[in-house]
């Protein structure tokens, strides 16, 4: 069974937040990404055992580090219960297949291909037609809101421009790789 970012949020983040307090709001997304990157290779059962073990043994009020959590996962299943590397290859293959499909091509042209890629990474499956429509609508709303803020010239204008340039670069890279 594949471990997704949503599994990690459910099994690790919710439990750690309960036991050790919530992380600072400013660092939470980066922290979530780091835990997910390292813990993605472990199964749900291993993550559950490791978090239970940390709940019993961790002595400090702060969160266990990513390394401590990974070590607890390895200790929870000494037989090496890590997810096979094939899963990562399967996800990359699924991303490629989805972005080369007709809805994927439309997503790339409309500028929300990166959202499709993130959906597959989080859920381990391709989005259905309704989810493609939701992503398209969310992309349109985000663009309209950003254009409105840029036109208003608020204090966040420079950060917003930098964010949109970075997002555009990611979309361009996906288009070069997958757009037919």
pLDDT tens figures, 125-168: 788 888 889 989 988 888 887 778 777 776 666 777 777 778 77
Per the CB < 8 A criterion, the answer to whether 50 and 75 are in contact is yes
User: Can you give the pLDDT at residue 26?
Assistant: 66
Q: Which residues pair with 82 in a beta bridge?
A: 42
The token pair at 107 is: 């997503």
User: Can you give the pLDDT at residue 79?
Assistant: 54
User: Can you give the pLDDT at residue 86?
Assistant: 45
Cβ neighbors of 32 (< 8 A, separation 6 or more) are 5, 8, 9, 13
Number of alpha helices (DSSP H) and beta strands (DSSP E) in the chain: 10, 0
CA distance 32 to 167: 20
User: What residues in the chain have per-residue pLDDT under 70?
Assistant: 1-2, 25-26, 78-88, 154-157, 180
This model's pTM is above 0.75:
no
Q: Residue 136, Cβ neighbours under 10 Å: how many?
A: 17
User: Can you give the pLDDT at residue 142?
Assistant: 82
The token pair at 173 is: 């890279």
User: Can you give the pLDDT at residue 105?
Assistant: 92
CA dist 33 → 43, 77, 106, 158 (Å): 17, 23, 28, 25
């Amino acid at each position: 069974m594949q471990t997704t970012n949503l599994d990690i949020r459910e099994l690790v983040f919710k439990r750690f937040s309960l036991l050790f307090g919530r992380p600072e709001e400013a660092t939470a997304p980066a922290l979530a990404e780091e835990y997910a990157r390292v813990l993605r290779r472990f199964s749900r059962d291993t993550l559950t055992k490791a978090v239970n073990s940390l709940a019993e043994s961790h002595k400090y009020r702060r969160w266990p580090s990513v390394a401590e959590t990974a070590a607890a996962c390895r200790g929870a299943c000494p037989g090496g219960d890590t997810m096979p590397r094939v899963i990562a290859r399967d996800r990359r293959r699924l991303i490629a297949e989805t972005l080369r499909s007709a809805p994927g091509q439309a997503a790339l042209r409309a500028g929300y291909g990166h959202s499709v890629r993130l959906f597959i990474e989080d859920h381990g499956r391709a989005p259905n037609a309704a989810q493609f429509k939701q992503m398209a609508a969310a992309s349109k709303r985000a663009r309209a809101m950003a254009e409105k803020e840029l036109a208003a010239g608020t204090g966040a204008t420079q950060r917003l421009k930098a964010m949109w340039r970075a997002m555009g670069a990611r979309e361009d890279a996906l288009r070069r790789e997958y757009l037919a």
